[in-house]
């Protein structure tokens, strides 16, 4: 593999890790707040849960294109996969475990915390950087990949639409308001919070 291809593959892999972390964090929050039987969980799962590394298939297709074009061998692929797995596990651990009642049953919150509002935007920004890094690698079939990118953005738009309709965690919003009140005048706090919603 030439140095240019190696640098292109490394850049694409780094961007893939960033989008994988954002998706892992997002999906972990959904999994700790909603049971699998919940209609909201099922809609999010249909939009954005992947079967392998929890990634949408379109992103994996882009990664595969880079690995093939750049001649990534099995050993390099395995090393990257191990590193990626560790990062995804760390991102999932960053979310708190669901609360349990006295009998040990999970008390599903069935609401979205304030922080989730930013995650679809973070996923989008990281995905754009990843797609650009893949297109920058010479020799990838841009035409074939473009269809997969369109599929990814279609799923992402559905995710954003589903999450806009979800019930918000009122306690979480109250905590955000208290933090804002430490730094801003009261009349400005409400305006800032409404902008963030």
Q: Strand, helix or coil at 49?
A: coil
> Over the Cα atoms of the chain, what is R_g?
19
pLDDT tens, position by position, for the chain (197 residues)?
A: 444 457 888 999 999 999 999 999 999 999 999 999 999 999 999 888 877 778 899 999 999 999 998 888 889 889 999 998 998 888 888 787 888 888 888 889 898 887 787 899 999 999 999 999 999 998 888 888 999 999 999 999 999 999 998 887 767 666 676 777 777 777 777 676 666 55
What gap in Å lies between CA 149 and CA 164, rounded to an integer? Answer: 23
pLDDT score recorded for residue 30: 92
| pTM, rounded to two decimals | 0.83
Q: Which positions ≥6 away from 50 have C-beta within 8 Å?
A: 23, 56, 57, 59, 60
Q: How far is CA 118 from the centre of its chain?
A: 10
pLDDT score recorded for residue 50: 77
Helix (H) or strand (E) holding 28: helix 3-33
pLDDT score recorded for residue 22: 92
Q: How far apart, in Å, are the Cα atoms of 119 and each of 1, 69, 77, 134, 138?
A: 36, 31, 28, 22, 31
Q: Which positions ≥6 away from 186 have C-beta within 8 Å?
A: none
Residues paired with residue 100 on neighbouring β-strands, in sequence order: 106
What gap in Å lies between CA 18 and CA 125, rounded to an integer? Answer: 10
């Amino acid at each position: 593999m030439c140095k240019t291809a190696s640098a292109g593959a490394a850049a694409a892999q780094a961007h893939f890790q960033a989008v994988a972390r954002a998706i892992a964090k997002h999906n972990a929050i959904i999994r700790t707040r909603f049971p699998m039987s919940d209609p909201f969980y099922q809609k999010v799962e249909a939009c954005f849960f992947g079967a392998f590394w929890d990634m949408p298939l379109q992103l994996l297709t882009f990664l595969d294109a880079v690995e093939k074009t750049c001649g990534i061998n099995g050993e390099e692929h395995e090393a990257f996969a191990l590193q990626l797995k560790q990062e995804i596990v760390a991102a999932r651990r960053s979310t708190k475990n669901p609360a349990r009642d006295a009998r040990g049953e999970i008390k599903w919150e069935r609401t979205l915390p304030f922080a989730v509002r930013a995650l679809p935007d973070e996923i989008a920004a990281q995905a754009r950087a990843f797609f650009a890094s893949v297109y920058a690698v010479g020799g990838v079939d841009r035409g074939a990949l473009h269809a997969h990118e369109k599929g990814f953005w279609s799923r992402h738009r559905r995710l954003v639409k589903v999450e806009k309709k979800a019930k918000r965690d009122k306690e979480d919003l109250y905590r955000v308001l208290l933090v804002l009140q430490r730094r801003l005048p009261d009349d400005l706090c409400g305006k800032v919070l409404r902008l963030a919603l």
